[in-house]
Structure 1
């Protein structure tokens, strides 16, 4: 079966895929970032069938934290969220999903230079995502601190404005005694 590759592949020996492309293939399932077998096979330049054959032959090299099989519900959710997986909806087979370590192990069992070269880029993509998440969490904490500080300042500014309004508000008409002689007033 001949595979048609996207324009992002130059030649299998010098495949260069931008990290953004790999990032777009990484999804979160069961709290882990994973790449589906179909996408990983495309990146490694093999068919999904060949990838899954090698994984099944070397099953003990793929513990549960390296690879997981999607349930029907997870499969439907992934298909609904990822446009490039439309054809997966009608597949009777539940796909496998590989974690960062599983992608490296898959490249090892495929025993091809292209897969080994691409696995380095895939790992770099996972690491870059991890760093982005760490930076995102740090940024979220700082934003929460700023929000709390601004909230405190808002209360203080509100008190200042209230005091200024009280001081600037015109007092009601004062009753002053008129100076001079007024008949009828004693």
Structure 2
């Protein structure tokens, strides 16, 4: 979904945030579920540079496990994944006449997003934060159910391996070519066997 359609899905009058909108903005980076600063800024209804300046003023509240800056490679991969216009926006506006970002994007973990509500003190920030926390919880529950399913499949596979072992052994015997009798090398004398 293009970022421009995000605003149309957010109902600002009642401060209700659609769960699907938030869930689509949660990404996996460095083995963690995160949200990018520009997506959070859009949800909170502020410019990205305002969000990042608030974070910078309160940097002691955002240790590395709450927030990290993307590497140039990660930013490029993200740009390719999301599309070229997604990461060119408001951070600190570039002097480049073509526009774009001057700094690499920030990624916020679930704890970092929770901390943002204390930095951005507004009723909208509280409502957005509640919606984001619900999305993270839903995602965690979904991942847990997938792990349970994978575990049950492994257990079933282990349980039925013994039954299917007989079948697999029979198939292997049928697929292995029978050994042909080999002829002896050398001179065959009058009482010697021709094959061994």
Q: TM-score, normalised by structure 2?
A: 0.71
Runs of at least 5 residues in structure 2 that lack an aligned partner in the other structure: 89-99, 172-196
Cα offset for 1:144?
1.8
Gap regions ≥5 residues in structure 1: 162-186
* Offset of residue 20 of structure 1: 2.1
| Corresponding residue pairs, total | 157
SS of the counterpart of 2:34?
Answer: strand
Superposed counterparts of 1:85-96, under 5 Å: 86-88=85-87, 90-96=100-106
1:155 to 141, 148, 165: 165
Cα deviation, residue 5, structure 1: 6.2
Assess if the C-alpha contact under 8 Å between 2:38 and 2:87 holds in 1. no
TM-score (norm 1): 0.75
The whole-number CA distance in structure 1 between the counterparts of 2:115 and 2:168 is 61
Deviation of 1:46 after TM superposition, in Å, equals 0.9
Matching residue within 115, 130, 134 for 2:140: 130
CA 1:98–1:151 in 2, change beyond 3 Å: closer, same or farther? same
Name the counterpart of 2:68. 68
Partner of 2:55: 55
The offset of 1:160, in angstroms, is 8.9
**Higher helix residue share:** 1
What RMSD in Å do the two structures reach over aligned CA positions?
Answer: 2.4
Larger Cα-atom Rg? 1
Residue 128 of structure 2: aligned partner: 118
